[in-house]
Amino acid sequence: MNMMTQLKSNALFVDQFGRGKRKLRISVTDRCNFKCVYCMPEHPEWMKKHDLLSFEELYQFCDFMVRRGIEFIRITGGEPLMRQGVVHFVAQLQNLKQFGLKRISMTTNAHYLKQYAEALKQAGLDDLNISLDSLDASQFKHLTQKDLAPVLEGIQAAQAVGLPIKINTVLMHGMNENQILPLARWSVQQQIVLRFIEFMPLDGDRKWSTEHVVSEQQILETLATEFTVTKQGHGSAQTTSDPARQHFIDGHPIGIISTITNSFCGTCDRVRLTAQGEFYNCLFAPQGLKLKTQIKALTLKTASSEVNLHDALFTYIWHKEQGYHAIEQRLKNQSLDKSSRKISMHMIGG
């Protein structure tokens, strides 16, 4: 589909490589009670509360996007359970299921999950991704500056109310690669789906380097010392845009998100919005598109507010780059260093 064909259609945002956008990630806050080494800067400068979009504005934006083909919304952060009103937001998003929204998900560090699991289930949340980087309490504290126990209790609470969960583990060399086998055993025992994530250059203090990355290959080799490892291919038949490459250990599914060594960008159907209304067509885009004014205008429900937002979005989405490696190459060619990328994971939400 070329740009002119897309102009005629209000149905689905598509980029120049023909990748339609069906997944939207909304970061509702950049604040977090954890300080994960691979994410949070040592001295975070939080977004000002008055700069954040309200939940009503975020809802209007989600409504607008669902009417243009978004089928999956993931609520993230910072820590989404730290923003008051997030459960009500989940409940409000249910209205959009009549317009094509299929799933509402959340990514959380699970610290507060014990107290919120029941309410999230009641609000209609479909599933949760939970970050868990170590089963060793002192290592967990070293990685996050917080205790492991509330996270394990949060996982149990989610299971007790019947919320489907997946566990995300970011691996870093010299930090927690010794957790590959303990976490794999635990996931088999608990019958929970685990996904290992390669460390990406989106940490707040820009300390990332390739030496810190534990590659998919290294993860598989470690798993093979104890399990029979088989491979399914990239994604499943249902969700070929799944960033996790699917493997099995003794028949139990295990995913690996290998952005650095096997980028999944070719089928990327995701777009993202930060809590203060900056829109990103890619996790690695050096710059976002400031949409706060246009999103606030949506609440006025004038015809021009929708047209203005639509025009800004489709041009920006159309120009989405090919992927992580293409962006890195361009920055290198232009002699721009990694500090030219202003966004980090705690703002964009993963």
Rounded Cα–Cα distance for residues 216 and 196 (Å): 8
Rounded Cα–Cα distance for residues 310 and 326 (Å): 26
Could you tell me which stretch among 47-55, 58-66, 103-111, 275-283 binds ligand SAM (CB under 6 A)? Answer: 103-111
Q: Of these partners, ligand SF4, ligand SAM, none, which one is at the site of residue 40 (CB under 5 to 8 Å by kind)?
A: ligand SF4
Which residues does the annotation place in the binding site for [4Fe-4S] cluster? 32, 36, 39, 265, 268, 282
From candidates 60, 92, 105, 168, binder to ligand SAM by CB under 6 A: 168
Told to check if 343 binds ligand SAM by CB under 6 A, we report: no
Told to check if 158 binds ligand SAM by CB under 6 A, we report: no
From candidates 77, 201, 253, 323, binder to ligand SF4 by CB under 6 A: 77
Rounded Cα–Cα distance for residues 69 and 175 (Å): 40
Least distance (Å) between residue 49 CB and ligand SF4? 17
CB neighbour class for 5 (10 Å; exposed up to 12, middle 13-18, buried from 19): exposed
Rounded Cα–Cα distance for residues 121 and 18 (Å): 36
Could you tell me which stretch among 33-41, 151-159, 315-323, 325-333 binds ligand SF4 (CB under 6 A)? Answer: 33-41
Rounded Cα–Cα distance for residues 43 and 56 (Å): 30
Backbone angles phi, psi at 89, to 5 degrees: -60, -45
From candidates 13, 59, 89, 199, binder to ligand SAM by CB under 6 A: 199
Q: Of these partners, ligand SF4, ligand SAM, none, which one is at the site of residue 278 (CB under 5 to 8 Å by kind)?
A: none
Tell me how far CA of residue 323 lies from CA of 62, 327, 330, in angstroms.
24, 6, 11
Please count the helices (runs of H) and the strands (runs of E) in the chain.
12, 12
Q: Of these partners, ligand SF4, ligand SAM, none, which one is at the site of residue 203 (CB under 5 to 8 Å by kind)?
A: ligand SAM
Rounded Cα–Cα distance for residues 170 and 22 (Å): 25
Give all strands (DSSP E) within 189-263, no chain letters: 193-198, 229-234, 245-249, 252-257
Using CB positions, name the residue nearest to ligand SAM: 350
Pick out residues in 5-64 that bind ligand SAM (CB under 6 A): 32, 38-39
Task: Tell me the two tokens of residue 269.
Answer: 């159907």
Pick out residues in 121-160 that bind ligand SF4 (CB under 6 A): 131
Are 41 and 30 spatial neighbours (Cβ–Cβ below 8 Å)? Answer: no
Could you tell me which stretch among 101-109, 134-142, 212-220, 272-280 binds ligand SAM (CB under 6 A)? Answer: 101-109
**Site of interaction with ligand SF4 (CB under 6 A):** 32, 34-36, 39-40, 77-79, 109, 131, 345-346
**Site of interaction with ligand SAM (CB under 6 A):** 32, 38-39, 76-77, 79, 107-109, 131, 168, 170, 197, 199-200, 202-203, 345-346, 349-350
